[in-house]
Amino acid sequence: MYEDHSMKRVHILRGHTVSPGYAEGTALVTRLPLSFHGVSMERETGIVRWKGHELEGKSVKDMIVVMDTGRGSTGGSWALYSLKTVYGTAPKGIVCRKADPITTAPAILAGIPMVDKLDQDPCEVIRTGDYVKVDATRGIVEILKADG
Amino acid sequence: MHLTDEEKQMLEGGDGEGVQQAMDFLVKLGNAFGAERMVEIASAHPAGCGYRVAGEGALRFLKWLAGTGAKVRVPATLDPICCDLERNQVLRIPDEFFQKQSQMNDAFRTLGFGFTFTCLPYWTSVAPKFGDHIAWGESNAVAYANSVLGARGNREASLTCVLAAVAGRVPEYGVHLPENRHGQILVRVETSLEDPADWRAMGAYVGKHAWDKIPVFTGLPSRISSVQLKDICGAITGPWGTMPMFHILGVTPEASDLETAVGGRVLEDVETIVFRKKEIEEAYEMMCTARLEHIDLVTVGCPYMTIEEIRTMAEVLRGKRVCKGVEFWGWTDRATRLIAERMGLVEVIEAAGAQLLSDTCMVTTPLEKSAYKFKVVATDSAKAASYVPGVGKPDVWFGTLAQCVQAALTGRWRGRTSG
């Protein structure tokens, strides 16, 4: 559904609450799974260090991360919580195709809004650089297209 | 989500701030995965109990939780930590990790966790029984508890296990529900498995290819030992796959026949993996990242060794001597090490220049912060073979214990010889 909004194209996706809360910011999009743990991400900067990943070298800090799903070890699951509470390098919000328990748990504990199961594929609709408002409590994602 | 009166009281803060936080978290987690209610758990066992893996956020949260007066409501045990508390002269981990780990341990002690520091809680600490719900994080243990013992638990994040221990509950989703425990992919084993490393290679191969689908193995001998089952568990999930369990036709308790194992689904709909001699070879190759013959560390026991595996390690090392410039480390829990000591096995191992280490392991200790600069590591563990290599980390040879010992004695890895 398209609406006119401050001369920008606005796109609304509806989905499912994973971790309640509200956040808005610039999108960083990957169609691949992403891990927020140790060897895959530098905690002091939030920079992806996953060798060969399409986000390698980019930072998740203060972004709305749009991804396929989460990946990683049960033991390393505290990492996302540390990004938020210790290093200040966590994403502002997470939008994914399908949530996994190992990313969901720290997102809930750290209060990082997260949604999944949207009515359209967020990895296709949202592009890196779009401005995204995530109302995770209601499961609504509003996208202001960067090229709009 | 339906909550009992007791659970509502927890959520409203009647049992203190820590329990309230735990219940608030568990309700949100349950809502995220469509759970309709909580189930009471028989035990909890988080992974990531070491400071290196868990990190500063975990330490701060655990301190806070312990400070609220919250206590575990069920038997709760701990996975390996980041240092060997008694033998740091071998690992030489910096003091900082001891200090941080000591603070984490203080919090765990206050909360009431048992200091097992083992990845085999089902072997040495708390074995759940058929149908028990559990909140466990250690992947090999989750696989064993579900597949072999018939307990019910997902591979939960470590913080979920900690909070479930304090609330005595987890949301009922995933393999807590019988309909989610059915096999989704068939594995037809058409080769004999000789060495323990073959069982681990099979686990790794099937883990990689089945990924999140629950496999049903057919064609395996009905007389499978507990150690062989542990070998599959230590490879199939965590490092190589993500499924919480598997079935073995005629062996594991929810696979008395194929129809039961796949939940009555039409067989044509079920994918099949065929595992032959060729796939064994492929699995060995998949786990070797090294190219250089020269090795500087041999590591065995990931997951931890049982006393019988330590006996085997001691026998193959008896009267031999590890080559200068090579370290040989075996890993087990503290209690099993004591048994090995009393049996004279530690003496044999140390006389050969090898070490038997405890409390921590190859995956949880911050070796990158130690004085060692290993370049090539040999192992007979599929889990270590997955976790040890990486950017700026050592390369790995995966093989049999015999190959690993040969490499330790000569300092050189020799290719896999058949027979």
Q: Encode pLDDT of B354-372 as tens digits.
A: 999 999 999 999 988 988 9
B355 touching A (Cβ < 8 Å): no
pLDDT surpasses 70 at A1: no
| Residue B57 per-residue DSSP state | H
Residue B114 DSSP symbol: B
Contact A81/B159, CB-based, under 8 Å? yes
Q: For chain B, what percentages of helix, strand and coil (3-state, to nearest 5) are there?
A: 45, 15, 45
Predicted complex ipTM exceeds 0.90 = yes
Of the candidate ranges A7-21, B109-123, B277-291, the one whose mean pLDDT is the lowest:
A7-21
Specify the long-range contacts of residues B308-315, CB closer than 8 Å, at least 24 apart. B308/B227, B309/B196, B309/B227, B310/B336, B310/B340, B310/B345, B310/B349, B310/B356, B311/B340, B311/B343, B311/B345, B312/B401, B313/B345, B313/B349, B313/B354, B313/B401, B314/B340, B314/B345, B314/B346, B314/B348, B314/B349, B315/B348
Q: Nearest C-alpha of chain A: how many angstroms from B164?
A: 12
At B327 the pLDDT is: 97
Predicted confidence band of residue B264 (pLDDT cuts 50, 70, 90): confident
Q: For position B13, what pLDDT does the model report?
A: 97
| pLDDT of A69 higher than 80 | yes
Chain B nearest C-alpha distance from A105 (Å) = 6
* Closest approach of A136 to chain B, Cα-based (Å): 11
Across B210-226, average pLDDT: 95
Element holding B143 (H helix, E strand): helix B139-147
CA B327 – CA B368 distance, rounded (Å): 15
Is 50 exceeded by the pLDDT of residue B419? no
Using the predicted structure, report yes or no on whether residue B220 has a pLDDT greater than 60.
yes
Question: Is-catalytic flag, A73?
Answer: yes
Q: Pick A74's closest partner by Cβ from B28, B55, B157.
A: B157
Q: Which of B3, B57, B70, B58 is nearest to B30 (CA)?
A: B3
What is the rounded average pLDDT of the residues B144-166? 98
pLDDT at B192: 97
Residue from A56, A77, A85 to probe the interface with B (highest B Cβ count within 10 Å): A77
The answer to whether residue B21 scores a pLDDT higher than 80 is yes
Which sign, positive or negative, has the C-alpha torsion A23, A28, A30, A35?
Answer: negative
Q: Other CB atoms closer than 10 Å to residue A133's CB: what's the count? A: 17
Inter-chain CB proximity A73 and B48 less than 8 Å: yes
Average pLDDT on B135-143 reads 97
Q: Which residues of B touch A39 (CB under 8 A)?
A: 390-391
Reduced to 3 states (helix: H, G, I; strand: E, B; else coil), residue B110 is: helix
Q: What is the pLDDT of residue A148?
A: 63
Using the beta-carbon criterion (under 8 Å), do A81 and B28 form an inter-chain contact? no
The nearest alpha carbon in chain A to B33 belongs to A18
Q: Which residues of B touch A105 (CB under 8 A)?
A: 25, 29, 156-157, 159-160
pLDDT value at position B418? 42
